[in-house]
Structure 1
Amino acid sequence: MTSLVTLFVSSPDTRSERRFDLQLSISRLKEKLELITGIPVRNQQLAIYNDDADSQPAKVLDDDQRPLGFYSPADFQVVDTNPSTTFTGQLTDLSGVDKFELSDEQYALRQDSVLAYKQRHKVGRFAEKVESTPAPAITVDIPIGSRCQVESTEPGLNKRGTVRYVGETNFGSAGGVWVGIEYDEPMGKNDGSVQGKRYFTCAPNFGVFMRPDKVRVGDFPVEDPFEDDENEM
């Protein structure tokens, strides 16, 4: 019958799974735990917990002469009773650390602080405020009622129509002036209204809105779709 038991050992800075002999005395056990946890034997207080969630120990191993098996161990924790003298305890015990504190007024007077750096280099809330100037109004010389032709990416295709609207619209995130056109043929996208607002009136799919730089105004008569057929007869 084996006399070894596997236990979870936890301390302020460590947690590990270890195997111990049940015949091992508590004093000898503490010597082994010093190598594992870094807590000196004289500072160790051992307590057995049945579960990690338990807040109160099931047993305290307070008799150094007793064997480990006397306490029927499950998992146990090593408590450091004097962390100020333990190397590992010094990493987590801040009770002896002097705190450097400054008032807001003292901090504002320092020249080696982040605040002073931001002030010198005008960063963040110290950046110079740039007043935005409104964009100049764009004048568009496209008379309503004039004939026009719209650029097309398809070779040989001319989109001609009549200018029905020139001005601002409620659509388009960039804003600016749009030109509303009634096409001669149903090559458009709307009937002169967009998103519920009417800018002009035409038949469905004859209306379109274009940027002024895409529209050419001039003598663009209505094209006869059967003109080429007549020339070939």
Structure 2
Amino acid sequence: MSSTLNLFVVSPATRSERRLDPHITVEQLKSKLEFMTGIPTANQSISLLNSEHDDKVIARLTDDSKMLGFYGPKDLQVLKVEDLNPSASFTGQLTDVSQVEKFEMSDEAYAQRQDSVLAYKQRNKVGRFAPKEEATVHKVPEANIPLDSRCEVESTEAGLSKRGTVRFVGQTKFGSGGGLWVGVEYDEPFGKNDGSVQGERYFTCRPNYGAFVRPEKVKTGDYPVLELDLEDEEM
């Protein structure tokens, strides 16, 4: 066994790491612990624990004549010192709240005080005393985009015209930003769906011919179907 042990000593009011000789008796240990914890030797109850986070007691040091090493302590284990009579020790009096006379005040008396947190909140209109804001009515924007009208959708690719027919205008269950969406059936497979999104159908078209775009991306008018020029591809 090592000549000294590194042990944590914890009590209701103290916590420290100490180097202790395993050959000292429990009686001698208690004398040292009184200076460390402020608990009189006669009132000490000492338990050996694996750690502060493990409440399982490995041993209780109940025999004052035994040496500390008799209980098999290991480095970094914990000596938990409890006060059997807190009223007799100074530190116990500081931590034993059972002896403190409680001051109670009725709700009515507290409400009359002008130096309370409640009074401060009332004066400054904080928390539940803040003025209630009128509910904001969110109007659904309107879009002058007739159903079945021909349209052209703004594209991010230069020279690409995405034309189609308006099949849906209104609110949807998808999209976190709310607002109106326009469902377009493209003339060509530029889309991402068949008129349904996340299991909800808004219109019907062929797969990859349907898309939903914001109204500002859509221009309605006389947009005929573009015919592909195949002359250069024929041999």
Question: TM-score scaled to structure 1, two decimals?
Answer: 0.69
Question: Which residue in the other structure is 2:62 paired with?
Answer: 58
CA distance in 2, matches of 1:179, 1:173: 16
Letter in 2 for 1:216: K
Could you say which residue in structure 1 is the equivalent of 2:176?
Answer: 173
Asked if the contact 1:48–1:73 (Cα under 8 Å) also holds between the matched residues in 2, the reply is no
Percentage identity across aligned positions?
Answer: 55
Alpha-carbon contact 1:190-1:207 (below 8 Å) kept: yes
Aligned-partner SS, 1:141 = coil
Deviations 1:114-173 (A, max 9, x none): 222222222222222223132224221111222211111111111111112222233323
Which letter does structure 2 place at the counterpart of 1:118? Answer: K
Structure 2 residue ranges without an equivalent (≥5) = 50-56, 72-78
Kept after mapping to 1: 8 A contact 2:181/2:214:
yes
Would you say 1:73 and 2:67 are equivalent positions?
yes
CA RMSD, aligned part only? 3.8
Q: Which among 143, 156, 164 is matched to residue 153 of structure 1?
A: 156
Out of 163-172 and 47-56, give the one that drifted further.
47-56
Figure out how many residues of one structure are paired with residues of the other and give that number: 212
1:35 maps to which residue? 35
Equivalent residue number for residue 41 of structure 2: 44
Q: Determine helix, strand or coil for the equivalent of 2:183.
A: strand
**What is the letter of the counterpart of residue 41 of structure 2?**
Q
Alignment gaps of 5+ in structure 1: 62-70
Contact 1:165 1:179 in 2 (8 A): yes
Helix, strand or coil: the match of 1:223?
coil
Give 1:109 shift.
1.9
1:148 is paired with a residue whose SS is: strand
**Is the Cα contact below 8 Å between 2:172 and 2:181 reproduced in 1?**
yes
**Contact kept? 1:44, 1:79, Cα under 8 Å:** no
Mapped pair 1:195 → 2:192: no
Q: TM-score, normalised by structure 2?
A: 0.69
Larger radius of gyration: 1
Aligned residue number for residue 206 of structure 1: 209
Indicate if the aligned counterparts of 2:31 and 2:41 stay in contact, CA closer than 8 A.
no
